[in-house]
Each structure stands twice: as structure tokens, then as C-alpha cells.
């Protein structure tokens, strides 16, 4: 069993898990808020607006509590992509390093990452802060992952064994092409033509990803 890639970098929302975390939180605020947040998310993922122009705005509208973030963590696991666990096991057995890079909220993604045996150091996401009573305080405004090109910035800061395959579904994932050797558009949950058009590969399942990685 030979690996074609030494490192695989994966997005989380709408890739590793079916849900878009911030949209999921917005649904707890009623139909009007949900529609507003969903439209902002879709525009950012299609590359119509920069993520940094809406990242903080969405969270300020929702103001998620610690309890809601914990519930989102459960939802991420419940909606994990079919075959993800088996694909992770196959790739690891071939010596592949697996890294998660997400513009989502770190505390919500951590349970999913741990369930897939991803080390904390290999999860890169945006930390959210709470008041002592568990209410929303803010987020890490210095995180590059709250920007359109931040995933490439994070990858440049890492020592990556090459070749590198990056996998994602949105416009913010396309930025990883500048660092990765190959970029795959994941269309298992959402097919965005602007992303597909810029991809080296198109994959529709985690079994497909593993097949592309392992010879």
C-alpha cells in the first residue's frame, strides 16, 4: 500500500461534516436570522464577498452561548461524512498525515476531530470566547481563518510533508491551492462551480478521497 500524498488537509464544514456550523447556530435564532446568515455564508463560499466582511457580523448577530457550541459539537459528529472514519484509518495506515483546517469554531469541531483520532495540534480553527456565565464574548479576531485567504496562511506556517493534497468545498478552500500540490473540490454535500472550476480533482465521497490518496 503506497500513498500518493504524504499529507492530506481537509476542510470541515460541508466537507468532513454535512453541516455549516454557523448556519446551524443561526437556525436556533428563527427563520429570519437563519435566512440572513445562510445568504451571507453562501455568498462567502461562492467567493462573491470576502469572508472577513461577514465573519464577525454573523457571530455578533447569533451570539452563540457555550451550551449552543457544545450542542453544535454533537451535531458535527452526528452529520459526519459517510465513510470518513474508514477513509481516515486507510490513509493513516499508509502513513498519511491528516490535518483539519477550518473557518469554523474550534470548540465545536474538537469533539469531531477527537472522534476521528485527529490530534489537537492538527486541528486549526477559530477559537470563540465566553463570559463566565457562558454567554458570547467574542472570537479570535487575529485568526487568519476568519479571512478569505487564511487557510493558505495557516498552511504556510506548518511544516508539511509533501506532496500535499488539500480538500474542500468552498471559495476559502481554493486559497489552499497556493500551498498544496493538489487541490480537490469536495462535492459530496455541496457542489460550487466556482470551486470545481479551480480544482485539480473533484471527489464526491471519503472513499473517493482515500482511493485518490492510496495507490
Supply the pLDDT for residue 46: 87
Please state, rounded to an integer, the average pLDDT across all residues of the chain: 96
Supply the pLDDT for residue 184: 98
Supply the pLDDT for residue 70: 98
User: 62, 37 in Cβ contact below 8 A?
Assistant: yes
User: Is 11 annotated as catalytic?
Assistant: yes
* Residue whose C-alpha is closest to residue 147's, from 62, 56, 50: 50
Q: Which of 13, 23, 169, 173 is catalytic?
A: 13
User: 125, 144 in Cβ contact below 8 A?
Assistant: no
Question: What is the Cα–Cα distance from 122 to 10, expressed in whole angstroms?
Answer: 11
Q: What is the pLDDT of residues 40-69, one digit of tens each?
A: 998 988 889 999 999 999 999 999 999 999
Residue ranges and CATH numbers for the domains of the chain are: 7-213 (3.40.50.1000)
Helix (H) or strand (E) segment spanning residue 164: strand 164-168
User: Is 13 annotated as catalytic?
Assistant: yes
Q: Which of 11, 23, 169, 208 is catalytic?
A: 11
Amino acid at each position: 500500500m503506497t500513498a500518493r500524498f504524504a499529507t492530506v488537509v481537509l476542510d470541515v464544514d460541508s466537507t468532513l461534516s454535512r453541516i455549516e456550523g454557523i448556519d446551524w447556530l443561526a437556525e436556533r435564532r428563527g427563520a429570519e436570522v437563519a435566512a440572513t446568515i445562510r445568504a451571507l455564508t453562501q455568498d462567502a463560499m461562492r467567493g462573491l464577498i470576502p469572508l472577513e466582511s461577514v465573519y464577525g457580523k454573523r457571530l455578533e448577530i447569533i451570539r452563540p452561548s457555550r451550551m449552543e457550541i457544545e450542542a453544535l459539537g454533537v451535531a458535527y459528529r452526528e452529520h459526519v461524512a459517510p465513510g470518513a472514519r474508514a477513509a481516515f484509518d486507510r490513509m493513516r495506515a499508509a502513513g498519511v498525515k491528516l490535518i483539519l483546517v477550518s473557518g469554523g469554531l474550534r470548540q465545536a469541531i474538537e469533539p469531531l476531530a477527537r472522534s476521528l483520532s485527529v490530534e489537537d495540534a492538527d486541528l486549526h480553527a477559530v477559537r470563540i470566547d465566553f463570559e463566565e456565565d457562558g454567554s458570547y464574548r467574542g472570537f479570535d479576531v487575529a485568526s487568519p481563518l476568519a479571512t478569505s485567504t487564511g487557510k493558505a496562511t495557516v498552511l504556510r506556517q506548518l511544516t508539511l510533508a509533501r506532496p500535499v493534497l488539500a480538500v474542500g468545498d468552498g471559495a476559502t478552500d481554493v486559497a489552499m491551492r497556493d500551498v498544496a500540490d493538489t487541490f480537490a473540490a469536495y462535492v459530496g454535500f455541496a457542489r460550487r462551480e466556482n470551486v470545481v472550476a479551480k480544482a485539480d480533482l473533484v471527489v464526491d465521497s471519503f472513499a473517493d478521497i482515500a482511493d485518490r490518496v492510496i495507490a
